[in-house]
Structure 1
Amino acid sequence: MEYGERHKKTFSRSQAKLKAEAFCAYQERAQQELRDKLYEWGLHADEVEEIISELIVDNFLNEERFAIAYVSGKFRMKGWGKIKIKQGLKHKNVSEKIIKTALSHITQEEYQEKLTETIKKKIKTDGEPKNIAQKSKLIRFLQSKGFESDLIFNKTTDILKKY
């Protein structure tokens, strides 16, 4: 056992609730993130679920609000596509319905612009792809960012025609 694991501080229910409120007030959180944190603080399952319920009622915790903030941040700041964002939300145990609602906050126009911007930025740094290997490298990069394959092929074809 490592030093940090042996000397983890545990909190009473009331202390944990106050810390959880501060944790949620600092930034939007998924219920699973908070659940994991409460378990880390030494609480038991029934206490964890009670605190989560209370924080939802007090509007400290809102899964839809979290998902919308997550989508917005990952799309606008990190330049992620919908596939990668969806995977991230699923990893945080957000429901499919909420994921769909949150992703609908990205307009098709915005999405196309972001993909175009990402392609142009990559071409500017790597140079225009001149052969199949370079084109496939560009496509793999865009797929790793979470953009859909059909959009990637259409957009790269359009952009590369102009070069």
Structure 2
Amino acid sequence: MNTVKTYTLEEAKRTLENFCAYQERCHKEVTEKLYKMRMIPEATDVVIGHLIEHNFLNETRFAQAYARGKFNIKKWGRQRLKLELKKRDISKFNIDLAMKEISEADYYETFQVLSEKKLRLISETDKWKKRKKLADYLLYRGWESHLVYDKVAELIP
């Protein structure tokens, strides 16, 4: 017989405490997890309230950690970071705070290094195709278009 696991309110709280302690989570992830655990909306509200009250769930902290991590590890630009945070229903206020986690100097230094590294990896010989490949790569990673086109013109005259 195929039975579905059910959770008491206390079990759900402990499970979600562990879920949030493992890594920063946003409200949307926690809500989805509770939905998959088949918790009723009233119980979901109680568990989320508990997690916020005991500082397991903090949207500002999540947004800041997310932006820092994706910038440092995946080398995403601000456009991509904002888009991904919006997808997770993060408020504009918290997105703006998260963007402040990245210093201007680090931002431009990372952009410079990423652009030059990618250019070395492009084997295309046609100048215009090479420019397009570099621009597409940087735009996909979420770097601002004015930065991208200026850099492409600088690196591939």
Q: TM-score, normalised by structure 1?
A: 0.89
For the 8 Å contact 2:27–2:59, the answer to whether it is kept is yes
Where 2:74 maps in the other structure, the secondary structure is coil
Distance in 2 of aligned mates of 1:68 and 1:76: 12
Match of residue 105, structure 1, among 89, 101, 104? 101
The corresponding residue for 1:68 is 64
Identify if the C-alpha distance between structure 1 residues 116 and 45 changes in structure 2 by more than 3 Å, giving closer, same or farther.
same
For the 8 Å contact 1:123–1:129, the answer to whether it is kept is no
Q: Is the aligned partner of 1:136 residue 2:135?
A: no
Match of residue 34, structure 2, among 32, 35, 38? 38
For the 8 Å contact 1:82–1:103, the answer to whether it is kept is yes
Distance in 1 of aligned mates of 2:54 and 2:80: 31
Q: Which runs of 5+ in 2 are unaligned?
A: none
Q: How many residues in Structure 1 have an aligned counterpart in Structure 2?
A: 156
The corresponding residue for 1:14 is 10
> Which amino acid in the other structure matches residue 147 of structure 2?
L
Q: Structure 1 segments of 4 or more deviating over 3 A?
A: 127-130
Give CA deviations for 1:84-131 in whole Å, capped at 9, x if unaligned. 111111111111110011011111111111111111111111147651
Q: TM-score, normalised by structure 2?
A: 0.93
Identity across matched positions, percent = 35
> Which amino acid in the other structure matches residue 47 of structure 2?
I
Q: Which runs of 5+ in 1 are unaligned?
A: 1-5
